[in-house]
Homo-oligomer: A and B are copies of this chain.
Amino acid sequence: MLPVVVVHGGAGHIPKERSELSTSGVTSAVRAGYAVLRGGGSSMDAVVEAVTYLENNPAFNAGCGSVLNVKGDVEMDAFVMEGKTLGSGAVSAVRNIANPIQLARLVMDKTSHLCLTAEGAKQFARSMGVPEVPQESLITEYSRMRWRKNLAPDANPVECQMGKMGTVGAVAVDSQGNVACATSTGGILNKMEGRVGDTPCIGCGGYADNMVGAVSTTGHGEAIMKVVLAKHILYQMEQGQSVEAASDLGLACMKFRAAGLGGVITVDPQGHWAARFSSRQMAWAAAQKDTLHYGLYEGENFTQSIDVQH
């Protein structure tokens, strides 16, 4: 059953013309993460590799392709956590960085803190030798078009948000049974400057515990936070629920208590995994036993064999 890696490209509603981009993006990312695991890499290495792929892909709302805040700027949040130590790292509202997920990992590895925000996060990046990138390199024409459209007084950014796949994330278990998660996002369309969502908030955007499993979440951030979604799902698993049932219970709680839709990917240390969503769609992919699984609409689980290079 081990190793296994699962990725998502955000919960929401994908316009038909963009669905192929989403599917090819998540399958490429999961292959990259799986190659790390098959090469003996840790689950943390694998989730960071997979999310880096998604950040670099302009089709997703993370890194290049992030949505713009109300001022037209890119401010990004990211989070990583490893289940062996409960160690984690996060950055919030960070600018001018190509790969916030790698910066979140540096926060975990190189500081005694768990989260750095805004200008402090940028200064830390500089001190670690992470290159600063011009904001323009993170902005796509599509992001700018949607930003303009949502400046109209009658626009509904939350509804429109669901019109683009959002946050990206990955969970993995390596052959030692160590679980990890990683989540990265540009946040919510036309957000206020300095808005921090669920992603960098431990237990909301993700959580990893070798005694239970790992989760990465996506969807309406404020609703995810209200129910502390990732931790909620792991509590259900501690009570004996399967990865699938626990994920569904978490999403049902989010709908019932916070009127929000979203999606999650979940693994347990034995390698059971689930990709579940209450939104119309979620691009997801998983790799296990040299088989690629992927889907976009409810009930889909396409498979392909993975040709592993030795």
Query: Which chain B residue lies CB-closest to A123?
Result: B193
Least CB distance, A216 to chain B, in whole angstroms: 16
Query: Which chain B residue lies CB-closest to A202?
Result: B225
A111 close to B (CB within 8 Å): yes
Most buried by B among A124, A196, A201, A202: A196
The 8 A CB mask of A92-121 against B (1 = contact, 0 = none) is 110000000000000000011111111111
In the bound complex, CA of A289 to CA of B173 (Å): 53
A195 close to B (CB within 8 Å): yes
A160 close to B (CB within 8 Å): no
CB-CB contacts below 8 Å: A249-271 with B: 257-258
Q: Chain B contacts of A93 at CB under 8 A?
A: 117-118, 120
A218 close to B (CB within 8 Å): no
Once the chains bind, are B192 and A120 in contact (CB under 8 Å)? yes
A86 close to B (CB within 8 Å): yes
Q: Chain B contacts of A195 at CB under 8 A?
A: 113, 115-117, 120
Q: What are 19 residue pairs bridging A and B, where the CB atoms are less than 8 Å apart in the complex?
A: A87-B226, A92-B117, A92-B196, A113-B191, A113-B192, A113-B195, A115-B196, A115-B201, A116-B196, A117-B194, A118-B120, A118-B194, A119-B193, A120-B192, A120-B195, A124-B194, A201-B202, A203-B231, A231-B231
- A residues apposed to B, CB below 8 Å: 86-88, 90, 92-93, 111-121, 123-124, 158, 191-197, 201-204, 207, 221-222, 225-228, 231, 235, 257-258
